Chain A
Amino acid sequence: QQPVQSPQAVILREGEDAVINCSSSKALYSVHWYRQKHGEAPVFLMILLKGGEQKGHEKISASFNEKKQQSSLYLTASQLSYSGTYFCGTEGPYNTDKLIFGTGTRLQVFP
């Protein structure tokens, strides 16, 4: 089943922070995060494999709560380049399973 992302859309000013959530109805092995700009291919951001794991990439970080079957993506001090649609992809309960992408969160950052 498709994971649910919230919010569906976010509008920010440069420098503001945002959190994007991804919830699954089934047990997860891993969560992947991607960003897609309009008309382009999705770009890999990060993968989280363990419960409670946190990862960071510059000012973008994420957490994965295995028990709650949830992941959150944190964008701090947003930049114009952060604009796009963010998708989580969930794999589980085993690592042999396919990646199911979430409903997407559209993020727009304005100067």
Chain B
Amino acid sequence: NAGVMQNPRHLVRRRGQEARLRCSPMKGHSHVYWYRQLPEEGLKFMVYLQKENIIDESGMPKERFSAEFPKEGPSILRIQQVVRGDSAAYFCASSFGQGGEQYFGPGTRLTVT
């Protein structure tokens, strides 16, 4: 009865490096959402994906950020050339269908030094 899994839980990167965050949805779920959360703030929508498709990426910065959810394997959120402002907790959530309840993973805390 595995829930949503994310790894790594903590990631430290120097400015200019790349960060790769992984998310494995709950069994049977084919919809994945990525959110960003700054300390003491709410969850900001970034991107919504289904297998092999990006459904809505309106919350993604236009540069340096990309996401994918391949046919096989986890969903990946990729941040190129990280800057200090990218430091945040990144949560992924999954749902069985569109618009259904979303179940969150434990998050990846990214720190850019």
Q: Closest A-chain residue to B104, C-beta based?
A: A41
Please report A residues at the B interface, Cβ cutoff 8 Å. 2, 29-30, 32, 34, 40-44, 47, 87, 89, 91, 95-104
Taking CB atoms, residues of chain B closer than 8 Å to A101 are 35, 42-45
How many B residues touch A, CB cutoff 8 Å? 23
Taking CB atoms, residues of chain A closer than 8 Å to B66 are none
Contact (A41, B99) CB under 8 Å given A98-B56, A99-B45: no
Taking CB atoms, residues of chain A closer than 8 Å to B44 are 101
Taking CB atoms, residues of chain B closer than 8 Å to A95 are 98-99
- The reply to whether B99 and A96 contact each other, CB–CB distance below 8 Å, is yes
- The reply to whether B99 and A91 contact each other, CB–CB distance below 8 Å, is yes
Please report B residues at the A interface, Cβ cutoff 8 Å. 33, 35, 41-45, 48, 56, 58-59, 91, 93, 98-107
- The reply to whether A2 and B42 contact each other, CB–CB distance below 8 Å, is yes
- The reply to whether A42 and B105 contact each other, CB–CB distance below 8 Å, is no
Shortest B23–chain A CB gap in Å is 12
Q: Which one of B42, B100, B106 lies within 8 Å of A102 (CB-CB)?
A: B42
- The reply to whether A42 and B56 contact each other, CB–CB distance below 8 Å, is no
| 7 other A-B residue contacts (CB within 8 Å) besides A29-B99, A44-B101, A87-B43 | A32-B102, A41-B106, A42-B91, A97-B99, A101-B35, A101-B44, A102-B42
